[in-house]
Structure 1
């Protein structure tokens, strides 16, 4: 993985980075300059060596300023041909060190970021070479090539241009592939982080449901058992049995969740946490425990058997369980709770209403507090594609309503 926010290099041979890239680039620049200089040393005319030296020095800036370098080399070539005079030349024309023009053109084709520049560079060199077949008497440029020689020069120019253009295409393709792979990797990491966050949220919801409900029931039962221990041993015994049963269920659920955290594979944690499927029938169990804890609970389930998917039954059960937990915690014994589940036109409707044991609304939980229980219920319903609302009733008590679309089994 490359540095944050920077796509990696496509290949160590195509796009070197850091000091290695600078060293290799300087070596190439020195090599090209030496080729031009050695070619200029073959000529005895006084201006050839200075012109060749200047052309070679221009090539040192061909990577940073390719278009400027091409313009400078072409200008030096014009000076070279202007100094050429068959009667007494001050410079040779054409000469071997004119290869600097091809090197400069290659630099424009390969390094320029403007997609129009490669074509402009090739056209400029072809036009400049073509001008030599007719000469420009007004500028003092004599004709230096016949049509056959011109075809040779053009063929060489086109060969060099096509080679440079193929290298450019390969470089751009490699860079695009590297950038695409980098963005794909970043997107995958982002998806993994989102999936991990969803898994943590799912496990947190499950832990809250297990711990909060079980502890609420056990605390109320323990308080009740302590109050009636001397007066009614039978009631105390029933309360203790409820505490034991609730504790065993909570321990089983905790073991299941801890096992997932230790051994579960990434991407499967939530599924593993909810592997112990619950059904609507278990609503009667938690309702009975709530009754033993001192609540008056009326349950109405008007959902046909097999009409809901397992995930929908799990969601409905957890919502009812959390509602009873909240009533036990905030209203306490003596509160009346009405639970109604029904299915209408492909939608599961859940209504849970309590009277708050006569306490005026607003004395308990703040509807805008965003407690873990309300947040967890809302997340469960929204994950199922439904809607959720909860708040105080007029007078006393609370209501919770949820609408969950169902995948009705026919």
Structure 2
């Protein structure tokens, strides 16, 4: 069972997207522009409405070009100040309520700028611009329009807006990162599930091949032998039939276990039926005896201390020997000699299976598996962290050698 990790997914209000998100964004832009325009309409100077309208129009592009919009609004504010400071009749009011467009543009830079330094530059520019309003330049005829009290008020308002917008921006980035993380973890979980399913299918395919191929090879050869000696030697025929029955029963038990795994998905669950039959190295002698009954000459040597191998290692060793005997029965047939050697050396289980290829079916066989047996053996050994080698011998026959690192139980 794959452990599931949960990541807090941000509120939908923080991560509006798609058509609804675009509609809300456009509505907020229009609302800001209208607020600036309405504020400008409260003043009676000649250029107040024009300047306010231009500032409002700039705000409509604040998401796409935040830096440019900030610069444009600041320039319009400077023009507003210059028009208000004319020695004759002022043409604009300064400061005015529609200067709130500067704060809106500042918020836009903080929220939508793609560089880390732009929010600080924008905030500093506003503070310096307000500070400049307290200065007097007699040569240019510029008089201050902001006193110290108004300066502190404007600075406080600017800093409040800047900090609030920066906090909301940080929260939005955190929400997006959490959403991305949740999506990434979900994809990882799905990938792990797919990989686990692929490994399980490969394991089941190997088990099916080992059970069916070996059992059927033994049963076919035993049935052929029983048929040929049925009238001449009923006792030998009866022995062959008993071997066929025992092999078939074991194969059916293994098939039931595999089918139960396919149906229930967990062969170790408490309610999955009878427990799985534990396969040990002792089973090698059983399959060797059945192979001898099928006509092979089998010499087995197992030099592994009791309790030295883990169950998975014993299962791997047994399946390799079983597949080797299956291949000898299939491709060499009765009369072939097989030498099986298993021994442990310096924490490594060494497996050697060699046949002489001298069987009566050499060259024609009883049906092949298209090389799946060798592939399955190699996969088993590699999964155990070992090495595998197989190939023809000089002269005739075949050899299989494998080494598997052992973990003492």
TM-score, structure 2 as length reference: 0.91
Pair 206,139 (structure 1): closer, same or farther in 2 beyond 3 Å: farther
Matched, 1:394 2:400: no
* Contact 1:39 1:96 survives alignment (8 Å): yes
Greater mean deviation of Cα atoms: 381-390 or 169-178 = 381-390
Matches within 5 A, 1:269-288: 275-288=276-289
Give the Cα–Cα distance (whole angstroms) in 1 for the partners of residues 284 and 206 of structure 2: 18
- How far is 1:142 from its partner? 3.6
* Contact 1:203 1:273 survives alignment (8 Å): no
For structure 1, the residue ranges without an aligned partner over 5 or more in a row are 1-7
Give the Cα–Cα distance (whole angstroms) in 1 for the partners of residues 268 and 188 of structure 2: 16
Pair 291,303 (structure 1): closer, same or farther in 2 beyond 3 Å: same
* Contact 2:334 2:360 survives alignment (8 Å): no
* Contact 2:333 2:359 survives alignment (8 Å): no
Per-residue CA deviations over 1:309-342 (Å, capped at 9, x if unaligned) read 1111111111100000011111111111000001
- How far is 1:279 from its partner? 1.1
Greater mean deviation of Cα atoms: 30-39 or 290-299 = 30-39
Pair 243,89 (structure 1): closer, same or farther in 2 beyond 3 Å: same
- What is the alpha-carbon root mean square deviation over aligned residues? 2.5
Matches within 5 A, 1:189-200: 189-200=190-201
* Contact 1:391 1:400 survives alignment (8 Å): yes
Greater mean deviation of Cα atoms: 246-255 or 8-17 = 8-17
SS of structure 2 residue aligned to 1:20? helix
Give the Cα–Cα distance (whole angstroms) in 2 for the partners of residues 331 and 138 of structure 1: 113
Matched, 1:220 2:221: yes
| Counterpart in the other structure of 2:299 | 298
* Contact 1:80 1:92 survives alignment (8 Å): yes
| Counterpart in the other structure of 2:182 | 181
Matched, 1:204 2:205: yes
Greater mean deviation of Cα atoms: 15-24 or 351-360 = 351-360
| Counterpart in the other structure of 1:343 | 344
SS of structure 2 residue aligned to 1:275? coil
Give the Cα–Cα distance (whole angstroms) in 1 for the partners of residues 268 and 91 of structure 2: 79
Pair 106,140 (structure 1): closer, same or farther in 2 beyond 3 Å: farther
- How far is 1:130 from its partner? 1.4
* Contact 1:361 1:396 survives alignment (8 Å): no
Give the Cα–Cα distance (whole angstroms) in 1 for the partners of residues 39 and 140 of structure 2: 26
* Contact 2:107 2:162 survives alignment (8 Å): yes
Give the Cα–Cα distance (whole angstroms) in 2 for the partners of residues 362 and 272 of structure 1: 44
Give the Cα–Cα distance (whole angstroms) in 1 for the partners of residues 349 and 139 of structure 2: 93
| Counterpart in the other structure of 1:79 | 79
Give the Cα–Cα distance (whole angstroms) in 2 for the partners of residues 326 and 274 of structure 1: 29
SS of structure 1 residue aligned to 2:133? helix
| Counterpart in the other structure of 2:100 | 99
* Contact 1:360 1:396 survives alignment (8 Å): no
* Contact 2:347 2:407 survives alignment (8 Å): yes
* Contact 1:82 1:140 survives alignment (8 Å): no
After the TM superposition, which segments of 4 or more aligned residues of structure 1 sit over 6 Å from their partners?
137-140, 271-274, 358-365
Pair 273,125 (structure 1): closer, same or farther in 2 beyond 3 Å: farther
| Counterpart in the other structure of 1:5 | none
Greater mean deviation of Cα atoms: 272-281 or 246-255 = 272-281
Give the Cα–Cα distance (whole angstroms) in 1 for the partners of residues 361 and 208 of structure 2: 31
- How far is 1:77 from its partner? 0.7
SS of structure 2 residue aligned to 1:342? strand
Matched, 1:55 2:26: no
* Contact 1:384 1:404 survives alignment (8 Å): yes
Matched, 1:38 2:30: no
Matches within 5 A, 1:128-167: 128-135=129-136, 141-167=142-168
- How far is 1:360 from its partner? 13
| Counterpart in the other structure of 1:384 | 384
Give the Cα–Cα distance (whole angstroms) in 2 for the partners of residues 371 and 139 of structure 1: 96
Give the Cα–Cα distance (whole angstroms) in 2 for the partners of residues 28 and 140 of structure 1: 40
Pair 360,138 (structure 1): closer, same or farther in 2 beyond 3 Å: farther
Matched, 1:170 2:167: no
Give the Cα–Cα distance (whole angstroms) in 2 for the partners of residues 242 and 364 of structure 1: 21
Pair 363,123 (structure 1): closer, same or farther in 2 beyond 3 Å: farther
Pair 283,265 (structure 1): closer, same or farther in 2 beyond 3 Å: closer
* Contact 1:217 1:293 survives alignment (8 Å): yes
Give the Cα–Cα distance (whole angstroms) in 2 for the partners of residues 206 and 188 of structure 1: 27
- How far is 1:227 from its partner? 1.6
Matched, 1:262 2:263: yes
Give the Cα–Cα distance (whole angstroms) in 2 for the partners of residues 273 and 113 of structure 1: 63
Give the Cα–Cα distance (whole angstroms) in 1 for the partners of residues 242 and 155 of structure 2: 100
- How far is 1:364 from its partner? 8.3
SS of structure 1 residue aligned to 2:145? coil
- How far is 1:274 from its partner? 9.4
TM-score, structure 1 as length reference: 0.91
SS of structure 2 residue aligned to 1:208? helix
Give the Cα–Cα distance (whole angstroms) in 1 for the partners of residues 37 and 113 of structure 2: 25
Per-residue CA deviations over 1:30-75 (Å, capped at 9, x if unaligned) read 2111111111111110100010011011111111111111111111
